[in-house]
């Protein structure tokens, strides 16, 4: 590796920790920041610091928030009988964008992944069970990703939750809107058939 000045190397190393950033991209970003206006570069540093220092996990749903509990947990218009379970806080936004769902959320903090050493204890499952104790929740919508890990997590949760007398549903998976059946593989098609509904 070529020798950069120590502060430059340090910046490159830090950038490399970001997901999807390798050595070359880190170098490019580092030199971009060094060439940029002082204000612009420091604004980024300040934004990272401010976000890191003020944003926390919601103590109820584990969403990332600067007020605790978060706005979804305290919102007056939210339906408290439904909880939608997602893997990551970033999964909430696409659901909110539908403007169809106004229930609560619960962020697991990932999915079951033996390869990454993530078992049930590493996920926010106990805190989900805690939330059901009041008896106010009638339905849990499991919106984990339709991947092997997300499916395994969904199945695990449903086995755990159903005996508690709560209705457990899974978001539909299958043919994406705008695509054609001809190009769907058999697993996707099977999911679409399983998830069919009355018209």
Partner 1 sequence: MPVRESEAIILRTYPLGEGDRLVSFLSRAEGRVRGVARGARKPKSRFGASLEPLSHVRIWFYERETRQLVRISQCELIESFLEAQRSYNANVAFGLIAEISEAVLPEREPSDPAFRLLLATCRAIQSRGSIALPIGYFTLWTVRLGGWLPSLDHCAACGRDLAGQPGWANTEGSGVFCRQCRPPGSRPFSAEALATARTMLRGSLEKLAAAGTRVPDELTNYWMDLIEQHIERKLTVRSMLELAP
3-state secondary structure the chain: CCCCCHHHHHHHHHHHCCCCCCHHHHHHHHHHHHHCCHHHHHHHHHHHHHHHHHCEECCCCCCEECCCCCHHHHCCCCCCCEEEEECCHHHHHHHHHCCCCCCEEEECCCCCEHHHCECHHHCCCHHHHHHHCCCCCCEEEECCCCCHHHHHHHHHHHHHHHHHCCEEEECCCCCCCCCCHHHCCHHHHHHHHHCCCCC
User: Considering the rule CB under 8 A, would residue 140 count as an interface residue with partner 1?
Assistant: no
- Match 């928030």 to its residue by tokens: 65
User: Considering the rule CB under 5 A, would residue 58 count as an interface residue with Zn ion?
Assistant: yes
For residues 41, 44, 45, 47, the Cα torsion angle rounded to the nearest 10 degrees is 150
Tokens of 88: 């990551």
Name which of 67 and 172 has its Cβ closer to partner 1.
Answer: 172
Per-residue binding letters, 124-163, with Zn ion (x by CB under 5 A): ----------------------------------------
Which span (43-51, 72-80, 135-143, 177-185) binds partner 1, by CB under 8 A? 177-185
Least separation in angstroms between residue 140's CB and Zn ion is 15
Which span (34-42, 54-62, 106-114, 139-147) binds Zn ion, by CB under 5 A? 54-62
Q: Are 131 and 106 in contact, with CB atoms under 8 Å apart?
A: yes
Per-residue binding letters, 7-36, with partner 1 (x by CB under 8 A): ------------xx----------------
Least separation in angstroms between residue 187's CB and partner 1 is 4
Binding residues among 71-110 for Zn ion as defined by CB under 5 A: 73
Least separation in angstroms between residue 156's CB and partner 1 is 5
Per-residue binding letters, 42-81, with partner 1 (x by CB under 8 A): ----------------------------------------
- Match 């070529």 to its residue by tokens: 2
Q: Which residues bind Zn ion (CB under 5 A)?
A: 58, 60-61, 63, 69-70, 73
Q: Which residues bind partner 1 (CB under 8 A)?
A: 19-20, 112-117, 119, 147-148, 151-152, 154-156, 176, 178-179, 183-188
């Amino acid at each position: 590796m070529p020798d950069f000045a120590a502060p430059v190397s340090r910046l490159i190393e830090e950038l490399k920790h970001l997901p999807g950033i390798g050595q070359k991209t880190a170098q490019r970003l580092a030199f971009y920041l060094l060439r940029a206006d002082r204000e612009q570069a420091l604004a980024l540093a300040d934004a990272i610091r401010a976000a890191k220092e003020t944003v926390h996990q919601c103590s109820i749903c584990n969403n990332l928030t600067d007020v605790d509990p978060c706005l979804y947990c305290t919102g007056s218009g939210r339906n408290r009988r439904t909880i939608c379970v997602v893997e990551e806080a970033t999964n909430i936004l696409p659901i909110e964008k539908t403007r169809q769902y106004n229930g609560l959320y619960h962020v697991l903090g990932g999915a079951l992944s033996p390869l990454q050493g993530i078992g049930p204890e590493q996920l926010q499952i106990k805190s989900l069970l805690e939330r059901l104790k009041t008896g106010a929740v009638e339905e849990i919508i499991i919106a984990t990703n339709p991947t092997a890990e997300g499916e395994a997590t969904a199945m695990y949760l449903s086995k755990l939750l159903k005996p508690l007398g709560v209705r457990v549903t899974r978001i539909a998976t299958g043919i994406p809107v705008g695509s054609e059946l001809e190009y769907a593989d058999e697993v996707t098609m099977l999911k679409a058939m399983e998830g069919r509904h009355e018209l």
